[in-house]
Amino acid sequence: MKQLTFAKYRALISLFCGALTPLAFAPFDLWLLILITPGILYLLLQDLSPRRAAWISWCFGTGFFGTGVSWVYVSIHTYGNASVLLASIMTLAFAMGLALTFALQGWCYAKWLSPSRFSAAGFIGIWILFEWFRSWFLTGFPWLYLGYALIDSPFKFWAPLGGVWLLSLTVLCLSIGVIQLIKAHRTPRRIALAVLISLPCLALILPKDWTQSSGHIQQVDIVQANIPQQLKWDKNYLPEFLNMYSQITLRDTQASLVIWPETAIPSLLSSAKPYLSELLYRFDKDNRSLISGLPSIEADSEHPDGYRAHNSLAVLTGKTNIYHKQRLVPFGEYVPMETYLRGVIEFFNLPMSSFSLPAETQTTLRIGDMKIAAAICYEIAYPELVRQLSIHSDWILTVSNDTWFSHSLAPAQHLQIARMRALENGRWLVRSTNNGLTAIIDPYGDITAQAPAYQQAVLSGSIENRSGTTPYQKYGAAPVLLFSLLLLAACFIRRKKGNS
C-alpha cells in the first residue's frame, strides 16, 4: 500500500513539474526554473522499471505540453468553431500525444541506462537525442526545447557554437550536475563535478562576434495591419484589406524595403493585382521593394490536382522572385489522412489547409545583390532548416500570422524562437506579423525595435547585412548529437559491466 501511494505521488509530482516548466520560457521568462525541473524528473526516475519510468515521464510530458502548447485551444475553439468541451479534449489529446515522446525517452532510460554509475550522463544524452528526434519525426514539432529558456541568460553565447541544442545540453549539465554534486560523498568526485558545473560559465568570455558587418545598412518598414482572422479569407473583404495595406504603405512608410506578413495578400496574385496596381507602379517608379506573404500555385502534372498550392513569400517589385514554405503545419496547412478527416468537424476545414510542399529545394530571396533567408511562420522553429538557408544570406526574414493564437502564449514563444535563430546564425532578423509580435532582432538575439501588439502599426528600423559563419552554421547539431551518443555509450557500457 505504501509503495502504491508513493507511486501515485511520484506521478503527480512529475505532472506538476512538467506543467511548471513552461514558465521558464516566454512570456514569463523565469529561466532559472529550467535548471530545476529536469533534475527533479531525473530523481523521480531512479530505480524504476521501464514501464513505470515511461509512465512517470509521460506525466511530465503531459504537464509540459499541456501548459506549454495550450495555445492550440485558441485555433481549435475560436477559429475552428469547436465547442469548449471538444476543443479542450482535442488540446489535451494533442498534449498527451506529444508526451509519448517523453514516455519513450523514460522507457529507454530505465531499460538500457539505469541503474548505472553513469546514469546521469545517460539521462542527459537521451534527452538531447529526443529533442533532436522531435525536430523531424512526423514532420517535427521543434517547440519548447530547453535551450530557448536561456536566451536572456548569461549562458546565451553558447548558441553560436552549437545552437539551441548546446544550450539544452547546458541546462541538463547544470541541472543534473548540481544533483550529482549534492549526492557525491567523495571529495575528488565533488571537485570534478564542481569544475564540470562551472564550465557553462565560460559563456561569459566567449567571442560575441562570429560574423561581420558588410557595411551596408538597410532601412526597413514592416506593416502590421491587424486584420481580423475571422474575415481574412472572406473574398468579399479582399478589396478592403488590400486597399488598407496599400494606403498604410503609401501613407506611413518611407524605407526602400517594405514588408507585409504571412498571407497578407489572401488570394492569388492575379486576383490581387487590380487592387495593388497603383502601389506596385509607384514602388517600381521609386525603386522601392515590397515583400509579402501570399498563396501561390505552380503546375505539376504528377500531382493529383495537376498543380501545387503553396504558402509563399515573394518579392513583388523589380526583379520578382518567390520562396515556398518547406515545413507545413499539420491541420493548419495540410490535413493528415485528409480523405477521412476532411469535413468531420469545421476545424479540419480551416481556410488554406490544402497547401503542398515545393517540388524543388528552396533558396534565398534576392533583392539586387542582397540575399535574404526566408522562413514562413512555423519554419523559424526548425534550427537546421534556418541554418542551411542563412549560411548564404545577408539577413533573415520570418513572416507569420499569429492571429490564429490570439492572446495566448504562442506569439511570445514564437518570438523567443526567432531570437534564438538570429543568435545561432549571427544575422539580423526581421519578424513581420499580422497583429504581433512584430520585431527587429540583432545578431545577438536582442530585440532592437518592436511594434505594439494587437493594433495597426508600422515598425521602422534598420538592419545590417552580415557575412561570415558561426561554428553552428558550419557544423550544425552534429557535434552536440555526437557528444550525446558518447554519453549514452559510456553509460550503457558501464551498466553492462556492472551487471556482468
Cell 523514460 maps to which residue?
106
CA torsion sign, 67 to 69 to 71 to 75? negative
CA 250 to chain centre: 33
Give bridge partners of residue 117 from the DSSP assignment.
Answer: none
Alpha carbons 86 and 89: distance in angstroms, whole number: 5
Alpha carbons 36 and 464: distance in angstroms, whole number: 38
Q: In which order are the strands placed within the sheet that holds 289-299?
A: 321-324, 307-315, 289-299, 257-259, 212-224, 457-467
State whether residue 87 is helix, strand or coil: helix
Catalytic residues: 262, 325, 377
Q: How is residue 116 written as a grid cell?
A: 548505472
Which burial class, exposed, middle or buried, applies to 8 when counting CB atoms under 10 A from its CB (0-12, 13-18, 19+)? Answer: exposed
State whether residue 117 is helix, strand or coil: coil
Residue 469 CB neighbours (<10 A): 18
Alpha carbons 239 and 251: distance in angstroms, whole number: 18
Cell 493594433 maps to which residue?
455
Return all residues near 234 (Cβ < 8 A) that are at least 6 apart. Answer: none
Among 72, 194, 151, 54, which residue's Cα sits nearest to residue 112?
54
- Write the single-letter amino acid at 250: L
DSSP assignment of 440-494, as one string?
EE-TTS-EEEEPPTTS-EEEEEEEEEEES--HHHHHTTHHHHHHHHHHHHHHHHH
Cα 500 to Cα 112, 234, 391, 495: the distances in Å are 14, 69, 49, 9
